[in-house]
Amino acid sequence: MNTQTRTPPKRSPDVAFVPMLAEVARIEVVSATFRRFTLTGPELHTVADNRFDQRFKILFPVPGSDITELPLDVLVDSDDWYGAWRELDNAVRPPMRTYTVRTVRPEASEFDVDIALHGRLGPASAWALDASVGDRIIVCVPHTGYTGGFHGGVDWRPPAEVGRVLIAGDETALPAVSGILERLPAGARGIAVVEVPDATDAQALSQPPRGVELRVVARGDTAVGTALIPAVHAAAAELLDAPDASAAVLEDVDIDAGLLWEVPTDAQGDPLLAKAPFYAWLAGEAQPIKELRRHLVSERGVDRKAVAFMGYWRRGRAEM
């Protein structure tokens, strides 16, 4: 099947995210850990360019198969693609994983995704190691035809007025951090800390505006979070006043039982605070992110309505 000539269906203006067939147009080895995949397809000019940490889903083919062998009339063309996906037999159901939209080029009907390799432990990373130009996947992305306003899936939602920002994460959050740094207002102030496996991975990052200092820490062979935690503690000490003895005691989040995810917004996706002296965005492996959130809120007294924290993955656990 020729991906480029397949006629896309008419999309409903009421649906924020839609599945689209995509083909690998280019692959760039960005650094020791990152591969950048440029995806193209007949509908990709309608991918909304929301930037920041816009997330989307990828459905990867089961090894040895091509995604176009699946019933695309329901998986790509229908509004109930998720129901159709769930009903597929385990043996053929394409694994679904979450990624960040890196750069959108509607004029070329393309967008990029930066995938951090972590061996053959999971279907996404294994696909990224083996993929070639022309390989096909299904992406579920925010589309420009949606008329309902905010698409969702962007968790950088700071108060309209913020003093300083702290942005922190591991390599899985690096594409999101880049998207945030590219879009921060020119006058933003604060610190961004990114932990990566290898020092060359800094090449995958965008540069921040002048008032935001970017610190990249390489953890080498040590456990994820080993370099991130002390670097974020140090950044917090620089950005915040002395620890607050009356700081809130947080209820524990059991990261084995559920998702570690809290974005302080209301039902419309608007920030809970109009104004704050400090705002933190933390994303990456659940354990260090949980520890960093505890440090900021319980030890340093940061208002929890000014801290967004997201467990992007869990050690030893597949995404689903």
Ligand X SMILES: Cc1cc2nc3c(=O)[nH]c(=O)nc-3n(C[C@H](O)[C@H](O)[C@H](O)COP(=O)(O)OP(=O)(O)OC[C@H]3O[C@@H](n4cnc5c(N)ncnc54)[C@H](O)[C@@H]3O)c2cc1C
Is 55 an interacting residue with respect to ligand X (CB under 6 A)?
A: yes
Helices (H), 114-166: 123-130
* Cβ closest to ligand X, residue 77 vs residue 155: 155
| Closest approach of ligand X to the CB of residue 143, in Å | 18
* Cβ closest to ligand X, residue 130 vs residue 241: 130
Interface characters, 280-319, with ligand X (x: CB under 6 A):
--------------------------------xxxxxxxx
Three-state DSSP state, 283: strand
Q: Which residue has the CB atom at the shortest distance from ligand X?
A: 122
Closest to 21 (Cα-Cα) out of 49, 48, 40: 40
Helix or strand holding residue 291 (H, E): helix 286-294
Is 51 an interacting residue with respect to ligand X (CB under 6 A)?
A: no
| Closest approach of ligand X to the CB of residue 231, in Å | 18
Closest to 57 (Cα-Cα) out of 110, 111, 97, 103: 97
70, 166, 309 from 240: Cα distances, Å: 53, 10, 18
Is the CB of residue 186 less than 8 Å from the CB of residue 209? Answer: yes
Q: Which of residues 114-173 bind ligand X (CB under 6 A)?
A: 114-116, 118, 121-125, 172
* Cβ closest to ligand X, residue 97 vs residue 300: 97
- In angstroms, the CA 300 to CA 152 distance is 30
The token pair at 15 is 């649906």
* Cβ closest to ligand X, residue 124 vs residue 188: 124
| Closest approach of ligand X to the CB of residue 201, in Å | 11
Contacts to ligand X by CB under 6 A = 55, 97-100, 114-116, 118, 121-125, 172, 175, 312-319
